[in-house]
Chains A and B, each alone.
Chain A
């Protein structure tokens, strides 16, 4: 594969692509704001395809986007089953339990200084444990199925939510708390009407962070003993079988799920915490 192809078309595509991007990014209207990242994505995919096919890169090392798209099409039922096992059965329950537990613990810490001194250091210890150590232990405690993966996700998401919620609960100013006191609001009313809404930006921060951690945690936990379905299982076995196009299909699925959940949470955050300065234009 030497000579004119693929170097000349590649050079041409890069030049045209960069010029197009420069032009698109000048536009102010929303349609140009969407078009620019789309165009960049298309450019990257085109370069990738041309380099892999043109320079004869072995598919065992890096499959071209065309092969990955074919793999996605061919394995759609498998991808669906893996999505159900990992995301619906392990990530969602684990994320929900971990975040709720973190929030409740943060409120408990706020109530009691004894708990604050006791639990925060333990929480940081739990979060420092590496997944590769927790996962086999959870498999032994909870079995091979989704329960052990959800348990790993709980261990991973608990501490970020705890820290963020604690910081959020302490974020109200003295003026606002005095105002509530002058209205004869007790501890719980102040918590409900002032301090929790004020903590919402922090809580959403933790929710978004945890959505990423939960996906990573569930996938990695599946490397350590799992029934033969799930995104982590599929990645580890297909790598060993050298079906790299299926591996990349799973990676694409994970990326789509991660981005979609982050975007969904950002949308909810925007609706609920519209008053926050970060949303002002």
Chain B
């Protein structure tokens, strides 16, 4: 009798383990770095496994646009910035925001003090470096608001398509370049520039900030309740991962570096990045992952305000959902 019970228990245990975890592919917006610590921590600490998920994390890179990847079927959920996702939505890729990770924007324009730029009014006639591939929308809105033409000349600004490094500023090829508070600004400092040689304009302070890292999925897939349930488990585990990363930053940096297959990142740079990212995640009304509809509307207003060249032409409908947030009991 005892043997029978033991055999039954073992079989039951095997049966539970034999049930395969639900697969999910996540496409990141950039290379493996502390900007995505939450996802890597959730994977390394087993939060995804505990939620019965088998998550594949695909790092991004130069000219990898997450909205295009998901349009081509290369991922189930992507990390992308809201302007890029809304523009893709207008082009016919029905992306829906299912969770918002970063509550504040880290985008800023960093200028050399010796180029003579003290306020945004001084941008006239200068050369500014801007990222493209989906990252140019906040800049275009800001220039439109300042009524500065981006085609150059003394009354406008000359725009350079900036690569993903800070050389144009170091080499004085541009008066200002786009930087993130958590990455390129510190690359400038590490390259030898002093903070008093730089003037920084944060998009948040200029009133042209847009929502950045959020999670997006394709609308048609959200009609399937099983998929929504999968996403809910994913977002809950991710939020847990982010909280752990914020509370245990040294450990999180170690995990991120383990996932850096290119070996290009340094521990010091990642530590600083994570501490800056923590500032961007904090301040949410209801916890990590909640999309504040007011913040969404603020982003839409910034994007619609470009007079000559608006990023999107009409107010988006149904571009976000709280269904996943509610399913996860947030």
Interface residues of chain A, those whose CB is within 8 Å of chain B, are 58-60, 136, 139-140, 143-144, 223-228, 233, 236-237, 240-243
Which residues in A have their C-beta under 8 angstroms from that of B304?
A: none
Complex interface: stretch among B3-11, B156-164, B190-198, B215-223? B156-164
C-alpha gap A253/B217 in the complex (Å) = 36
Whether the pair B93, A144 counts as a contact (CB closer than 8 A) is: no
B150 close to A (CB within 8 Å): yes
Whether the pair A227, B159 counts as a contact (CB closer than 8 A) is: yes
Given contacts A144-B168, A225-B163, A240-B68, could you give 12 more A-B pairs where the C-beta distance is less than 8 Å?
A: A59-B92, A60-B71, A226-B160, A227-B159, A233-B161, A236-B63, A237-B133, A240-B133, A242-B71, A242-B87, A242-B93, A243-B91
Can you report 13 residue pairs joining A to B where beta carbons are below 8 Å apart? A139-B163, A144-B160, A144-B173, A225-B162, A226-B160, A227-B159, A227-B161, A237-B133, A240-B133, A242-B88, A242-B92, A242-B93, A243-B91
Whether the pair A242, B63 counts as a contact (CB closer than 8 A) is: no
B65 close to A (CB within 8 Å): yes
CB closest chain-A residue, reference B92: A60
Which residues in A have their C-beta under 8 angstroms from that of B87?
A: 241-242
Number of interface residues of B (CB under 8 A): 26
Residue-wise interface mask of B (50-69) relative to A, using a CB-CB cutoff of 8 A (1 in contact, 0 not): 00000000000001010110
CB closest chain-B residue, reference A58: B92
CB closest chain-B residue, reference A135: B163
C-alpha gap A59/B133 in the complex (Å) = 19
Residue-wise interface mask of B (88-107) relative to A, using a CB-CB cutoff of 8 A (1 in contact, 0 not): 10011100000000000000
Interface residues of chain B, those whose CB is within 8 Å of chain A, are 63, 65, 67-68, 71, 87-88, 91-93, 132-134, 136, 150, 152, 158-163, 167-168, 171, 173
Which residues in A have their C-beta under 8 angstroms from that of B152?
A: 227
- Chain B interface mostly: loop
C-alpha gap A93/B67 in the complex (Å) = 38
User: Contacts A60-B92, A242-B68, A242-B93; is A226 near B161 (CB within 8 Å)?
Assistant: yes
Which residues in A have their C-beta under 8 angstroms from that of B91?
A: 60, 241-243
Which residues in B have their C-beta under 8 angstroms from that of A139?
A: 163
B236 vs chain A, min Cβ distance (A): 32
Which residues in B have their C-beta under 8 angstroms from that of A223?
A: 63
Which residues in A have their C-beta under 8 angstroms from that of B150?
A: 228
Which residues in A have their C-beta under 8 angstroms from that of B158?
A: 227
C-alpha gap A99/B313 in the complex (Å) = 48
C-alpha gap A241/B68 in the complex (Å) = 9
Which residues in A have their C-beta under 8 angstroms from that of B160?
A: 144, 225-228
C-alpha gap A243/B152 in the complex (Å) = 24
Whether the pair A237, B68 counts as a contact (CB closer than 8 A) is: no
C-alpha gap A202/B132 in the complex (Å) = 43
Which residues in B have their C-beta under 8 angstroms from that of A227?
A: 152, 158-161
Whether the pair B93, A60 counts as a contact (CB closer than 8 A) is: yes
C-alpha gap A240/B161 in the complex (Å) = 13
CB closest chain-A residue, reference B84: A240
Residue from B93, B134, B163 in contact with A224 in the complex, judged by beta carbons closer than 8 Å? B163
Which residues in A have their C-beta under 8 angstroms from that of B65?
A: 240
Whether the pair A236, B159 counts as a contact (CB closer than 8 A) is: no
B187 vs chain A, min Cβ distance (A): 15
CB closest chain-A residue, reference B67: A242
C-alpha gap A144/B172 in the complex (Å) = 11
- 4 shortest interchain CB distances as A-B pairs: A240-B133, A242-B91, A237-B132, A228-B159
B264 vs chain A, min Cβ distance (A): 15
CB closest chain-A residue, reference B150: A228
Which residues in B have their C-beta under 8 angstroms from that of A225?
A: 160-163, 168
Which residues in A have their C-beta under 8 angstroms from that of B92?
A: 58-60, 242
B235 vs chain A, min Cβ distance (A): 26
A256 vs chain B, min Cβ distance (A): 25
Which residues in B have their C-beta under 8 angstroms from that of A60?
A: 71, 91-93
A219 vs chain B, min Cβ distance (A): 14
C-alpha gap A228/B167 in the complex (Å) = 18
C-alpha gap A226/B159 in the complex (Å) = 9
Which residues in B have their C-beta under 8 angstroms from that of A237?
A: 132-133, 136, 161
C-alpha gap A233/B167 in the complex (Å) = 19
User: Contacts A60-B91, A227-B158; is A143 near B173 (CB within 8 Å)?
Assistant: yes
Which one of A224, A228, A233, A243 has the highest number of Cβ atoms from chain B below 10 Å of its Cβ? A228
C-alpha gap A240/B81 in the complex (Å) = 14
Which residues in A have their C-beta under 8 angstroms from that of B88?
A: 242
CB closest chain-B residue, reference A222: B161
A251 vs chain B, min Cβ distance (A): 17
B288 vs chain A, min Cβ distance (A): 29
C-alpha gap A148/B68 in the complex (Å) = 30
Which residues in B have their C-beta under 8 angstroms from that of A243?
A: 91
C-alpha gap A14/B283 in the complex (Å) = 63
C-alpha gap A140/B166 in the complex (Å) = 11
Whether the pair A236, B132 counts as a contact (CB closer than 8 A) is: yes
C-alpha gap A212/B136 in the complex (Å) = 32
Which residues in B have their C-beta under 8 angstroms from that of A241?
A: 87, 91, 134
A133 vs chain B, min Cβ distance (A): 14
